[in-house]
A and B are shown apart, each in its own frame.
Chain A
Amino acid sequence: MSDEVKNVVLCGVGGQGTILASKILSSCLIDAGYDVKMSEIHGMSQRGGSVTTQVRYGKKVWSPIIGKGSADVLVSFEKMEALRYLEDVKVSGATVIINDYAIQSLPILQGVTDYPEDCMDRVKEKVENTKIVDATSVAAAIGNPKAANVVLLGAAVKALGLTDLDWDAAIEKCVKPKFVELNKKAFQAGLEV
């Protein structure tokens, strides 16, 4: 294990399952012997607000949170949110994974402002290693669009080079028994997208 601490930011909208994905990630890293800190940054999850979780892991992690320009991997569960949190990402060497899925916010629903349809292109322009995943469709094909969070987790794990860890065990630990098989499949699909 190197001394270097890796930083992962998961962002989306309340109800998209960013916290479950963070829990599976953290749980697996702990069992693999890493020190881990996980922080939910925004808490208005049930009221349509923007949510982020930060997961930091390494030999020894001090701060539970990172500042701007520090994330190795940004996983965006909603495509406009990727642009909102792009400033969290390291200027070089970072990976951004975006779910090709839009959720309108109040000012957009009200017709006050427009959804930035070109948001993914704007991210791609800045981060070479941007990966677009249609996670919601992939999850729907497996059996439940709500498993998009674990599809995205699979994609993130691949980007982090952590595929060798025991992810099935972590999923079994964190997910209700009746959803374990679905989530294992979703995770596999995420590794392959």
Chain B
Amino acid sequence: MWRFCLATVVALCSPLSLHAEAYTPATPETVLLALPSVVTEYWQQQDKQQNSELSADERIARAQTLLTAAQGSNYADGYGQAEALLLPLATTMTLMPAQAAYLLAYIKQHNHEFSLARELLNHVLAAQPHHLGALMQRAQINLVTADYAAARGDCATLGAIVSAAQATSCLAQVAAVTGQAEQAYAAVTQLLANPVLRNAAERFELQLTAATVAEQLGKDEAAEGFYIAALAQQADSGFILQHLADLYLRTGQPQAALSLLRGVPVDMRSLEQEVMLLQALQATANQADAAQLQQQLVGKFSEATARGGNGSRANDTPDKELAAFALLQGDAGRALAAAQRNWQAQKESGDLLLLTKAAALADDTGVLRDIRQWQQTTGLQDRRLERLLQEAGV
């Protein structure tokens, strides 16, 4: 523990003093890196024309390709590269093509720059009021930023252009955090039980909604079942893996969480998954692996902290992950500070639970009382939150 504290302090105080070790490949033929096709295409295009000379349509098409790679192949650099292509089109919002604004909004949303993303989506929806993707994105942003009335409004608009199952899923997610979790759960599970519902994509979406609401209601076994069913459809879903691993860790099944997270290829793991993996390793007494991962995470958070200067964007410091990591190490001050910054940006149940744990560890009754107040105001039903608050005596 003390070694970690020392390493963290040193690393975070000297963000540039990253551990470095010289590496010389065994042979000249040693392949260091598989290059994404976009790099090759970039240089082929450079022979023909410069980036600055690309037309708006070409920029949009390339950005779309990069975002597809970012999503489909977890090519994380695709977000920044797509943004670099789109930014020259965003100098004047009113002149920006709707599709460019839509793509840029997605990147901003990914970066947790919700206000900018919403502004861009408003621009898209002003031109195309029934733009499905834009409506869906805006509803999601409204939900995450706790503008529940606006989220409900977007769901209602969507209801006119999507199926009943889709509309139900949308409304259920809003209802689940505004005092109607039981009703939301009943509506979603009834739909899932209906043999008429055969569309796999619709079932998948409803299963995810059912799983998250079930967790809120303390129905952990049911939640596990829904996650596993959804995972059977989409085995590489980071969202499901993360939620299921979290459920396992929370319900005292660290070995199951470990198996799940170890199944994710190392280069595909998100920072949040790595923090969970560390928790699972520690809980299952894999001390050597835990120490190694911990050292890597200290380096990653150190680098992330170093990025946060000079007005860098909000996503430059992964506060949620940092809070979870600090919480795991018992660093109450850092955990609470990071959890509070994260809560300023996004307000989902997971964010609130994280804030509550950090406040409880820091014994900050003021923050805990604010959380209780939030819960009462929104009508949020969440057994996990209730238990944490009761344990903290609030």
Partners in one complex: no
Interface residues of B, Cβ cutoff 8 Å to A:
none
Interface residues of A, Cβ cutoff 8 Å to B:
none
